[in-house]
Amino acid sequence: MSLPLTGIKVIDFTHVLAGPACGYYLGLLGAEVIKVESVGRGDSMRYRGGTDPVRAAEGMSTAYITQGSGKKSVEIDLASDAGKVEMFDLLESADVFVENHLPETMRRLGLDEKRTARFFPRLVHCSMTGYGRGGDRENAPAYDVNIQAVCGIMTMTGTAESGPLRTGAPIMDYSVALAAGFAISAALYQREQTGKGTFIDVSMLETAFTLMSSTITDYKLTGNVPKPRGNAANSRSPGAGSFDCKQGVLSLGVNEESQFQALARVLQREDWLTGTKFATRQQRTANKAELEHELASILLTRTADEWEADMISNGVPAARVRTMPEALALPQVEARGYLHTDPETGAVVPTLPFRIGDSGPFKPVSSAPRLGQNNG
């Protein structure tokens, strides 16, 4: 069966995480992805990231393998005339050019968007940078950790006691990769209508802001500066949040009236539904501290696993706080086929979080390549 991007050729001139992840996702959807790397060194992520120093020393770190599968790797010396010709030959037959280098670097290499548009009018050129084109930060370097710091999300994470905290995963990098993939798909569809390629300018900072959209709107309308709220629910609904249990921690997302009614029944506190303190959302909001004190006391009587099972079976959004190994062991993960085990190397890599039609889970067509593995 043909995949959505079958027949699309992508030149992946990216490094580190966001760019390579974008190329990986396009490959999962059927595109042919050729990763262009510097001679003798390649993507710096080959040698760092992850907790396996042996793999990293071999240029196959776990951080590289994660978004390296399904690609071809060619080494090109872009400082040489021959290398420039080789790169142009690749772009001549390509549909998409993905890169995440600074604009000044791309201009120096003769691969900026004005030049690619001139020579390859049908090419979709996608650039991912920290701050996007224009402005005083156009050429400022940035990684995920820098964007988390500058966008304000760290000051909303943690508690007043902990101070600003970075999230435990590189969410900005992967969000940028998905945003770029979304934009590329739209641009390819647009090309079908117009016959022309285009330039895509993806900003990590704006992607971060997009993840904070409702908070930004609230601040702009009210002037209320967002503060760290620990594990309190973003909805601010009374009874929503994280609670200690006899064993483990339970996260509750009780936002709708029907959900609170179901919660009361599971807890055998139907009196909450007829009294004068908690029967309506307005009452629960006014008596939020008292409600959550009572709720916390009840949840301590059973384990988080027990509560989770009862809550879910009765329509209450609930989940025990799990470690990553526990989460990956959920039967749901295996049922969906989200993880892919490489038949050659045994490496286990995440795939895409969606299915299209009856395609099933998208799988990479090959193992992550070694540096220059596909040079002619």
> How many Å apart are CA 353 and CA 374, to the nearest integer?
29
Based on the structure, what is the number of domains in the chain?
2
Ramachandran bin of 142, using left for φ above 0, alpha for ψ from -120 to 50, beta for the remaining angles: beta
pLDDT at residue number 197:
99
Question: What are 206-263's pLDDT values in tens digits?
Answer: 999 999 999 999 999 999 999 999 998 888 999 999 999 999 999 999 999 999 999 9
With a pLDDT cut of 70, the percent of the chain lying above it is 100
36 and 94 co-located in one domain: yes
In sequence order, the 6+-apart residues with CB closer than 8 A to the CB of 128 are 14, 18, 19, 22, 98, 99, 100, 176, 177, 180, 202, 204
Parent domain of 80: 9-211+338-350
Q: Is residue 232 part of a domain?
A: no
176 and 55 co-located in one domain: yes
Q: Which residues is 214 bridged to in the sheet?
A: none
Q: Is residue 253 part of a domain?
A: yes
Q: Please report which confidence band the pLDDT of residue 359 belongs to, taking 50, 70 and 90 as the band edges.
A: confident
pLDDT at residue number 331:
98
Q: Is residue 342 part of a domain?
A: yes
pLDDT at residue number 220:
99
Quote the pTM value: 0.96
83 and 124 co-located in one domain: yes
pLDDT at residue number 183:
99
Q: Is residue 333 part of a domain?
A: no
pLDDT at residue number 268:
98
60 and 21 co-located in one domain: yes
101 and 24 co-located in one domain: yes
Q: Long-range contacts made by residues 113-119, C-beta under 8 angstroms, separation at least 24?
A: 113/199, 116/91, 116/199, 117/197, 117/199, 119/88, 119/91
82 and 206 co-located in one domain: yes
Question: What are 75-124's pLDDT values in tens digits?
Answer: 999 999 999 999 999 999 999 999 999 999 999 999 999 999 999 999 99
Question: What are 197-219's pLDDT values in tens digits?
Answer: 999 999 999 999 999 999 999 99
